[in-house]
C-alpha cells in the first residue's frame, strides 16, 4: 500500500496546551457520543489498534472503508488528503485537554477505490493521558468520523504492547480472530522471544431481557489448552474460544482475543439465525424451535408469519440481522457482540439518541417523538482479564413495558426505531 505521510503538524492550540492545558467546552462525559454506535460508523467498518512500539511513543492504526470517507472520488484527482486530528485527555471526566496534534496523509486514487484501507500515525506517550479522541475526514469535506481510544501505560503485560498481523500483512484492528486463518503476533519489547498462549473456553447464552432479575455478571472460564508461538512464526487457531497471549510464563494474560467462525460478524447459518431469535420469542416458543429438525424452515416461517408477505419478510430479516451484525462489530468482547447487554439493547431498540461515556459506565438515552427522554439504560464496565470492552446492563422491572412494546413491534412486522 503506497501511502505518503506528511509530517505531524502540531497546532497552535497544542503548543499552548503543552504549557498550561486547555479548557474545553465541557467534559467528555457530558458529550453525546452516539456517533460511535451509529449506522454510519458501522457502514464505515472503522477499526483501530494502539501499539506501544516504544516507551515514549505509540502507533495508532485505523482501518475503514474508503467509499464511506471519500464519498466523491474524482478520477482527475490523483492524490486525496486525509486529515487526522488527535486529542489527549487525562480521562473522560477531564475538562482540560492535555495536548493535541494533526496528521495529514496523502492517498492515491487507487487506495480510495479499495474495499478497505489502513492508515497509521505515531504519537508521543504522555504520562497522565488515558484517553485519545481521534477525528478524521476527507480534507475536501466537513463530515468527520470519530473514535475514542484508551491509552495504556507501556509494560510487559500491557495488551497495547502486542501487535497482531493478518496473513496479508495488515494489522488486525478488529476485536476478534477468524479460526483457520493465519496470524502473526509480536511484542514490542520481546520481538525475538516466544509468546505463550492459553486458550479459554466458556459457554455464554444470549443476554436476558432488560427487565429481568439478574445478579451481577460473573464469568467462569476454563483453561482448554496452552501452547507456544515461536518468534515471527504464523499461527492458525482452529477452535473457537478466547486466546490469551503473554511473553511472561507467570502471567496468563497480556493481550486477549476471541476466535470466531469465518463468516463473523455476519451470521447466515440457519442454526445461528434461529438462536438470534431468542430476544423476540417466548420461552415456550423458542423451546419448540430448538427441538425442530429444520432450522431454516423455522426461521423462514417465523418471519413470513410476522410480515404477511415474502417481500416484507425479506425486509424484516435484513433489518433484524443487520442489527445482529452491527452488534457483533461494535460490542464483541469475550463473547459474540449480539449476546452482550449493549448488543441486546441496540438490536431491540435501535440506535440510542444520546450516549454518555464515563470512566466506568455508559448511559444510553432514547427520545420519544416529541424529543423527550423516554428510556435510559445504564451499562457498567466489567473488569476482567480477558476483555476491556465488556459492559453489563443495570436491569429494572420498569423496562418491562418498553421491552414488550419493542418486541411486539418486531413480531407485528414493524421495525422499532
pLDDT tens across 274-327, in order? 999 999 999 999 999 999 899 999 999 999 999 888 888 889 999 999 999 999
Q: What is the pLDDT of residue 354?
A: 97
pLDDT tens across 213-255, in order? 876 666 677 889 999 999 889 999 999 999 999 998 777 678 9
**Cell numbers for 408:** 411486539
Mean pLDDT lowest for which of 61-65, 69-73, 218-222? Answer: 218-222
Domains observed in the chain: 3-150 (2.60.40.150), 175-206+216-260 (2.60.40), 270-411 (no CATH)
- The mean of the pLDDT values for the chain is 88
Residues near 320 by Cβ (< 8 Å), separated by ≥ 6? 276, 303, 347, 410
Contact criterion met (CB below 8 Å) for 336 and 328: yes
Q: What is the pLDDT of residue 7?
A: 43
Mean pLDDT lowest for which of 60-74, 87-101, 163-177, 282-296? Answer: 60-74
Whole-prediction pTM value? 0.90
Stronger pLDDT, 1 or 82, i.e. the higher one: 82
Indicate the burial class of 333 (C-beta count within 10 angstroms; 0-12, 13-18, 19 or more): buried
Residues near 398 by Cβ (< 8 Å), separated by ≥ 6? 211
Stronger pLDDT, 116 or 405, i.e. the higher one: 405
pLDDT tens across 355-386, in order? 999 989 999 999 998 899 999 999 999 888 78
Residue 13, pLDDT > 50, answer no
Amino acid at each position: 500500500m503506497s501511502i505518503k505521510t506528511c509530517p505531524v503538524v502540531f497546532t497552535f492550540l497544542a503548543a499552548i496546551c503543552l504549557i498550561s492545558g486547555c479548557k474545553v467546552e465541557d467534559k467528555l462525559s457530558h458529550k453525546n457520543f452516539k456517533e460511535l454506535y451509529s449506522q454510519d460508523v458501522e457502514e464505515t467498518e472503522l477499526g483501530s489498534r494502539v501499539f506501544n512500539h516504544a516507551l515514549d511513543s505509540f502507533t495508532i492504526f485505523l482501518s475503514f472503508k474508503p467509499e464511506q470517507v471519500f464519498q466523491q472520488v474524482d478520477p482527475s484527482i490523483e492524490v486525496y488528503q486525509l486529515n487526522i486530528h488527535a486529542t489527549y485527555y487525562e480521562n473522560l471526566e477531564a475538562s482540560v485537554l492535555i495536548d493535541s496534534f494533526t496528521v495529514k496523509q496523502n492517498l492515491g486514487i487507487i487506495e480510495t477505490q479499495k474495499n478497505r484501507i489502513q492508515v497509521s500515525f505515531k504519537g508521543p506517550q504522555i504520562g497522565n493521558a488515558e484517553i485519545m479522541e481521534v477525528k478524521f475526514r476527507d480534507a475536501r469535506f466537513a463530515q468527520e468520523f470519530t473514535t475514542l481510544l484508551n491509552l495504556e501505560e507501556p509494560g510487559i503485560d500491557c495488551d497495547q504492547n502486542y501487535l497482531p498481523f493478518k496473513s496479508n500483512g495488515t494489522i488486525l484492528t478488529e476485536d476478534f480472530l477468524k479460526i483457520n486463518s493465519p496470524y502473526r503476533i509480536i511484542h514490542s519489547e520481546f520481538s525475538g522471544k516466544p509468546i505463550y498462549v492459553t486458550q479459554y473456553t466458556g459457554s455464554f447464552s444470549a443476554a436476558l431481557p432488560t427487565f429481568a432479575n439478574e445478579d451481577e455478571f460473573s464469568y467462569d472460564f476454563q483453561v482448554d489448552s496452552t501452547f507456544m508461538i515461536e518468534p515471527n512464526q504464523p499461527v492458525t487457531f482452529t477452535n473457537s474460544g478466547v486466546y490469551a497471549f503473554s511473553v511472561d510464563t507467570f502471567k496468563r494474560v497480556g493481550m486477549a482475543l476471541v476466535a470466531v467462525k469465518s463468516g463473523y460478524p455476519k451470521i447466515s447459518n440457519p442454526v445461528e439465525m434461529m438462536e438470534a431469535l431468542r430476544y423476540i420469542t417466548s420461552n415456550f416458543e423458542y423451546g419448540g424451535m430448538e427441538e425442530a429438525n429444520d432450522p431454516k424452515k423455522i426461521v423462514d416461517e417465523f418471519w413470513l408469519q410476522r410480515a404477511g408477505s415474502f417481500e416484507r419478510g425479506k425486509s424484516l430479516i435484513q433489518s433484524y440481522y443487520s442489527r445482529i451484525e452491527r452488534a457483533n462489530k461494535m460490542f464483541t468482547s469475550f463473547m459474540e457482540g449480539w449476546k452482550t447487554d449493549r448488543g441486546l439493547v441496540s438490536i431491540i431498540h435501535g440506535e440510542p439518541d444520546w450516549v454518555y461515556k464515563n470512566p466506568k459506565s455508559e448511559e444510553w438515552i432514547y427520545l420519544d417523538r416529541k424529543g423527550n427522554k423516554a428510556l435510559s439504560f445504564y451499562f457498567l464496565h466489567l473488569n476482567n482479564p480477558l476483555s476491556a470492552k465488556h459492559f453489563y446492563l443495570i436491569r429494572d422491572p420498569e423496562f418491562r413495558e418498553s421491552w414488550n412494546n419493542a418486541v411486539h413491534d418486531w413480531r407485528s412486522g414493524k421495525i422499532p426505531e
